[in-house]
Structure 1
């Protein structure tokens, strides 16, 4: 089958349907990144996708469906939690892994008989799924391990039809949440923060061992509170062997490259934490965007983070409120050593709770 390139218009829609009916593989824009897909019941085409992506069979493809009501056709044991998640996040960049019914496409099942389902929030794909009247087996349009493309010219896979429209909103893959385990398991970070999702589920999610999580501490000058918190957290991460949790800090009014205050270094050292190598950083949109959890010392800091990236609100907390407490961590700048010692002890208490939570989140007993 000769590869064709079409726009995401009526002509492209008809060509895509024709290719799918012939057992072909198409590439298309989504609401996250470019994807490829085929008929969800076509095992030969599914096998071809695995081969062209060099993807292991242990990582099943995702089923795209046109409407929430179709989920019950493929998934067993519907729950109120699943309904809440679907109501609030479908269509959108969330993929849910659930226990599959026997009638679910066999080529999409995991060894544990689960299936991954998503409803994309892309107008062309919505039209395609409605007109085709069948589900698609899909995945991102890249070789496994490489970055998913957001431009059609960067798609190197040997597909039969390429639909071009580079107006992709985020360029960030969908978040994957495994509902077949309890507590639920975050299998992949994505467009939707886990803290947003946790507003709709009964308990905090666990993290797959592959998840790398970036924690950011924020204060004013990045010379006292946030570097002390960073130093404390680093030591706890080492003790707990949490290698996939990364930590950094920055300041709302900080200059770049300055040393921490002498009193901060001394107060941290007295409790066994070394922050001498720290150098200050000024906060920016990139730092905020690449952080998965942002812990601020004062409400003022939270508001400044919001102003940089309003959509990040669900992942920004006061350090104290992250564990249900009220209040701020006072700035010790200008105080004597007794003030710095008190702040360091307060930080130690709250930061330890954060470290304990991550230790729990990475504890998963996998089904066999």
Structure 2
């Protein structure tokens, strides 16, 4: 059964975040809040945990379009190719925020993603998500929590999330009702920024 941990964004509990990060280091799958929808994540360095998420999503890990949740733009050079000043200014202007920016990956990508040429980078405007990444010491591999409902694409109630994912994940962070609009996805590997999906973030960059 998944452990449910209540956290408040206005007053983040560092002790609990540290405990969750430790569990992630040991392979735990965690459902956590962002500035858009709830996400399912694990430690980027834990191959077995990444493969578990891929199986849950029904995709092959090396082909999965997972996002890298970072705590700031300082992580960019770890996993992406060198970006020009214009692109960096665009990122700095819009992050933290409800965006996923697709950038070219480099040779430092975890082995499981070596075949991928691009990576989706997120820096969510959410103190719990950012605090978790900081405690972990590296990005979180993440994917959105989808809903089977044809009307609501994302589940927003953490108690319903915990009920549905109880046997699939190790920890559910209950931070209150989440959003039901995903991040805006922008491809920055093209000559001009290309809108892949319109979400919560403005498309006027």
Under TM normalisation by the shorter chain, which class is it? 0.7 to 0.9
Measure, in 1, the Cα distance between the counterparts of 2:140 and 2:96. Answer: 15
**Structure 1 residues 54, 183: CA separation in 2 closer, same or farther (over 3 Å shift)?**
same
Measure, in 2, the Cα distance between the counterparts of 1:106 and 1:189. Answer: 30
TM-score, normalised relative to structure 1: 0.49
Q: Mapping of 1:36-55 within 5 angstroms?
A: 36-55=40-59
Aligned residue in 1 for 2:176: 166
Q: Mapping of 1:18-167 within 5 angstroms?
A: 18-55=22-59, 57=61, 58-108=63-113, 111-142=115-146, 147-155=153-161, 156-157=164-165, 158-167=168-177
Measure, in 1, the Cα distance between the counterparts of 2:98 and 2:39. Answer: 13
Contact 1:40 1:107 in 2 (8 A): no
Structure 1 position 185 matched with structure 2 position 194: yes
User: Secondary structure of the residue that 2:129 maps to in structure 1?
Assistant: helix
Larger Rg: 1
If each structure's helix is expressed as a fraction of its own residues, which one has the higher value? 1
| Structure 2: unaligned runs, 5 residues or longer | 8-12
User: Secondary structure of the residue that 2:130 maps to in structure 1?
Assistant: helix
| Structure 1: unaligned runs, 5 residues or longer | 198-368
1:81 is displaced (CA, Å) by 2.5
Contact 2:102 2:188 in 1 (8 A): yes
TM-score, normalised relative to structure 2: 0.84
Q: Could you give the per-residue CA deviations for residues 50-72 of structure 1, whole angstroms, max 9, x where no partner exists?
A: 11123465342000111112212
**Structure 1 residues 55, 142: CA separation in 2 closer, same or farther (over 3 Å shift)?**
farther
1:74 is displaced (CA, Å) by 1.5
Contact 1:52 1:143 in 2 (8 A): no
Measure, in 2, the Cα distance between the counterparts of 1:17 and 1:177. Answer: 29
Task: Please tell me the root mean square deviation across aligned C-alpha atoms, in Å.
Answer: 2.2
User: Secondary structure of the residue that 2:191 maps to in structure 1?
Assistant: coil
Q: Could you give the per-residue CA deviations for residues 40-91 of structure 1, whole angstroms, max 9, x where no partner exists?
A: 1212111111111234653420001111122122111211222122111111
Flag the structure with more relative contact order, 1 or 2, with Cα contacts below 8 A and sequence separation at least 6: 2
Aligned residue-pair number: 193
1:24 is displaced (CA, Å) by 1.1
**Structure 1 residues 112, 20: CA separation in 2 closer, same or farther (over 3 Å shift)?**
closer
User: Secondary structure of the residue that 1:173 maps to in structure 2?
Assistant: coil
